[in-house]
Amino acid sequence: MSEELAPGPNESPLAPQAGPREVWKKGGRLLSVLLAVNVLLLACTLISGGAFNKVAVYDTDVFALLTTMMLLAVLWILFYLLRTVRCPGAVPYRDAHAGPIWLRGGLVLFGICTLVMDVFKTGYYSSFFECQSAIKILHPLIQAVFVMIQTYFLWVSAKDCVHVHLDLTRCGLMFTLTTNLAIWMAAVVDESVHQAHSYSSSHGNASHTRLASDPERAGNAVGGDSCLCSTAVCQIFQQGYFYLYPFNIEYSLFASTMLYVMWKNVGRLLTSTPGHSHTPSPVSLFRETFFAGPVLGLLLFVAGLAVFIIYEVQVSGEGGRTQQALVIYYSFNIVCLGLTTLVSLSGSIIYRFDRRAMDHHKNPTRTLDVALLMGAALGQYAISYYSIVAVVVGTPQDLLAGLNLTHALLMIAQHTFQNMFIIESLHRGPPGAEPHGTPPKEPCQGLTFTNQDALHTLPACPPSPGLVSPSPADQQEAVGIVSTPRSHWRRRCLKDIALFLLLCNVILWIMPAFGARPHFSNTVEVDFYGYSLWAAIVNICLPFGIFYRMHAVSSLLEVYVLS
């Protein structure tokens, strides 16, 4: 395990020379954070102001700001790739735990979807370019370039611990992170405005929302008429890029996470600590399990896919079967969340009998994993508590309201107990680690010698009264010591639990990531909060819930390997 060196009794020989650098390290971080906060507040003010129809801020102003930020970020990334990393001794260390393959793979996947969205956006605005500002066509093109360059940069440099141009690198990383957050906020606001406008149009209630409609946000065209999307091709482009907004939102979150890790690693000194490192054994699926976890997980996964298909078909159909689809969707999720809650709780109980030592050594990567699990869960917590208030205080109390309430309560419980299980698993020592306070065994303890003269050749052995015949209890203990480590029932149960939770989190990720939105099909929250507020809550919080599922899958895979 890689450790960050800090002054102390066991400091590295490099630490004395690094003292002044460590003192200014906090100042450099503070400078970059202040830069990011100011830029982010400016972007947030402009983006939120453009969302309301009583504020004279149009989307052209937002596009101009985002385009400028992306161009500046691209210039810094090119400087980093072409100049910074080519300096002698620029990257003396690489953090093996940073930028795991699942995170980089997800970044590439969502980056490809973002590029498709930019193509649709360009086609949409090009359909009536005569009355559009040039910035609207330029923005998706610049964003496509930004996504391609940033994805390559994060793929090759995510593990870097840079030791040159420290302040410039910190400020560049923070500015790029802020750019991604601004893109995320703009996408959330744009999606909320579009959904509110569609809802108001379909219900014939324009006063239901204070959010500006699409023509109002676009401003007035040349000659005083608004730009209208009237052709079939234009409408296909419009619907296509709005459908791909969730992938763009996830891409921004993934990129922000990786950039934050790089920022933390700037100027970091790494050393290998053999006493605390362990190499996980190669992953062999279903090995050393009772098969109950993977089998039950696969059954729920397949059932979840069927429920998701049925839900999408019935909600988008014309037969008015939305309520039946919601009952099926909520019923499956209640079963799945209830089982995962019980299984997570059972895993935590099993750890009460686990004699492995808790790993309390400093591990920045594990600290970040825990922070991401806890932080991303807040998004689903917020949605659930808003739903609970709407169902409890709202007047209609029917089957659907009961299912919604149960679903929200189980969602909170599942996130809580699953986080407890994952975090405790990540802090457990490797298999075979002795509990703290266990005295080390003597070199000769437990050995039986047939030649008593051999005892005198072992100076480390304590005085022995002679050859002692092993008792039946000692024989049973010796057999237990030999046969325990690789086949112990606790380890098998933990592997079953990890695989079951992994498969359940995969299907719970697929449903919202690919378009399941019971939050809008079920009108309880919409009627209680109003469509504008509820759409903003869901569009802000749900991406964090989707990110949580993906991060939980990677953490559970690590738990399975290390159990």
pLDDT in tens, 489-522: 677 788 888 889 999 999 998 888 877 888 888 8
Candidate from 107-111, 112-116, 126-130, 295-299 with smallest mean pLDDT:
126-130
Task: Using the predicted structure, report yes or no on whether residue 65 has a pLDDT greater than 50.
Answer: yes
Task: Give the range with max mean pLDDT: 163-177, 271-285, 348-362, 487-501.
Answer: 163-177
Report the pLDDT averaged over residues 268-275. Answer: 57
pLDDT for 315: 82
Residues 6 or more apart in contact with residue 530 via CB below 8 angstroms: 208, 209
Other CB atoms within 10 A of residue 158 CB: 20
| Residue ranges covered by each domain of the chain | 24-201+230-268, 281-430+479-562
CA–CA gap between residue 337 and residue 119 (Å, rounded):
38
pLDDT for 290: 56
Candidate from 80-84, 437-441, 498-502 with smallest mean pLDDT:
437-441
pLDDT band at 14 (very low <50, low <70, confident <90, very high): very low
Report the pLDDT averaged over residues 525-550. Answer: 86
Residue 89: CA atoms inside 13 Å, Cβ hemisphere, count? Answer: 5
Report the pLDDT averaged over residues 220-234. Answer: 59
Report the pLDDT averaged over residues 245-254. Answer: 86
pLDDT for 386: 92
pLDDT for 227: 67
Q: What is the 3-state secondary structure (H, E, C) of 153-200?
A: HHHHHCCEECCCCHHHHHHHHHHHHHHHHHHHHHHHHHHHHHHHHHHH
pLDDT for 276: 39
Per residue in 273-317, pLDDT tens? 433 344 444 445 555 555 777 889 899 999 999 999 988 888 876
Task: Using the predicted structure, report yes or no on whether residue 561 has a pLDDT greater than 90.
Answer: no
Other CB atoms within 10 A of residue 560 CB: 23
| Closest by Cα among 524, 549, 544 to 534 | 524
Q: pLDDT: is 403 or 442 the higher one?
A: 403
Task: Using the predicted structure, report yes or no on whether residue 27 has a pLDDT greater than 80.
Answer: no
What is the sign, positive or negative, of the torsion defined by CA atoms of 65, 68, 71, 73?
negative
Task: Using the predicted structure, report yes or no on whether residue 437 has a pLDDT greater than 50.
Answer: no
pLDDT band at 177 (very low <50, low <70, confident <90, very high): very high
CA–CA gap between residue 399 and residue 323 (Å, rounded):
10
Proportion of the chain above pLDDT 70, given as a percent: 71
Is 185:42 a contact under the CB 8 Å cutoff?
no
How far is CA 221 from each of CA 66, 80, 133, 197, 424, rounded to the nearest angstrom? 22, 41, 9, 20, 59
Candidate from 35-44, 392-401, 530-539 with smallest mean pLDDT:
392-401
Task: Using the predicted structure, report yes or no on whether residue 29 has a pLDDT greater than 50.
Answer: yes
Phi-psi region of 278 (alpha: psi -120 to 50; beta: other; left: phi over 0): beta
| Closest by Cα among 340, 151, 159, 375 to 248 | 151
Task: Using the predicted structure, report yes or no on whether residue 440 has a pLDDT greater than 70.
Answer: no
Candidate from 91-95, 118-122, 198-202, 284-288 with smallest mean pLDDT:
284-288
pLDDT band at 465 (very low <50, low <70, confident <90, very high): very low
pLDDT for 362: 67
Q: Mean pLDDT, the chain, as a whole number? A: 76
Task: Give the range with max mean pLDDT: 56-65, 269-278, 448-457.
Answer: 56-65
CA–CA gap between residue 491 and residue 347 (Å, rounded):
10
Q: What angle do CA 49, 52, 58 make, to 5 degrees?
A: 65
Report the pLDDT averaged over residues 55-76. Answer: 87
| Closest by Cα among 507, 492, 485 to 552 | 507
φ, ψ at 462 (rounded to 5°):
-70, 160
Query: Model pTM?
Result: 0.73
What is the sign, positive or negative, of the torsion defined by CA atoms of 80, 85, 86, 87?
positive
Q: Locate tokens 């072992």: which residue? A: 458
Task: Using the predicted structure, report yes or no on whether residue 470 has a pLDDT greater than 80.
Answer: no
Report the pLDDT averaged over residues 336-362. Answer: 81
Q: Token digits for 384? A: 């659930």
CA–CA gap between residue 19 and residue 467 (Å, rounded):
58
Task: Using the predicted structure, report yes or no on whether residue 413 has a pLDDT greater than 90.
Answer: yes
Proportion of the chain above pLDDT 90, given as a percent: 24
pLDDT band at 203 (very low <50, low <70, confident <90, very high): low
Report the pLDDT averaged over residues 64-82. Answer: 93
